[in-house]
Amino acid sequence: MNRIDINIKNGPLVMGILNVTPDSFYDGGKYNSIDAALYHVSEMIHDGVDIIDVGGESTRPGAQEVAVEEEIDRVCPVIEKIIHEFNIPVSIDTRKSKVADEALKLGAMMVNDITGLQADPDMPVTIAQYNAYCVLMHIKGTPRTMQLNTEYDDLLSEITRYLYNSIEIAKKAHIADDKIIVDPGIGFGKSLEQNYVILNNIKYFKKLGYPVLIGLSRKSLIGRLYDTDEDRLPATIALNAIALYNGADIIRVHDVKEHKLIIKPLKMFYQVANS
């Protein structure tokens, strides 16, 4: 089957989250079986998803690292089935080059690395070998430690410097310039208020010259605003609308249908507002 490419210029794009983990913060355990995962993929495709992002390791605050072989066992059977049964670009959400290599070998087209290529020295070469897309994200610390210290001297410039270093690593490994995407890492080593500063300054990160991905779906920057366990979807949609208006090229979401429905009116709003 011929694989379709990822056309970011025709964006904004919606990346659908597929967690095949027992412990992710929102949907851990829902899609552990291949049948459940594939059914969810078919739902997301029906709803208009542009990319499926498959993850086998929770990166919620405090999460413990998963062994390489266990992560491979979680994601690869699902990725193989998606590639075989659907014509949709697949991303592998991993910080480990061996996991990325196995996923790319099966036909995945993108690596979503929460460390921005700064943890596993073999990751850049692995991505370049397959001419894959890569998402370079900013994180302070690791998922286990990242919320222990969220202090910055200058939030925006420090995130930008980290992303610039990740871009340089990618270039040295000969990852194609048009395959690079940056992500300022909402929720990854940031306070509640800092997440909103990032959301309000997406154009600041676009100065790096690359598409920007924003992943805020149902995260604690929403949940911590409520005294009770409220439905986080309406606020997620509202904040993603702001992200898109502020220049995000890709939004990473749990709820595809609702976010695809907001893109056309947002495009019209942006067109009129800037005419």
Q: What is the mean pLDDT of residues 205-218?
A: 97
pLDDT at 274: 78
Residue ranges of the domains in the chain? Answer: 10-273
d(CA 119, CA 209): 23
* pTM of the model as a whole: 0.92
Catalytic residue status for 206: no
d(CA 93, CA 107): 14
Catalytic residue status for 252: yes
- Catalytic pick among 179, 190, 218, 252: 252
Residue 140: C-alpha distances to residues 39, 147, 161, 231, 267 (Å): 35, 8, 12, 28, 33
Q: pLDDT averaged over the chain?
A: 92
pLDDT at 57: 92
28, pLDDT greater than 60: no
221, pLDDT greater than 50: yes
The larger pLDDT score, comparing residue 274 to residue 131, is at: 131
- Catalytic pick among 74, 219, 232, 260: 219
Residues 6+ apart with CB under 8 A from 21: 28, 29, 32, 55, 56, 57, 58, 74
Which CATH code fits 10-273?
3.20.20.20
pLDDT tier for residue 229 given thresholds of 50, 70 and 90: confident
pLDDT at 182: 98
157 and 150 Cβ atoms separated by less than 8 Å: no
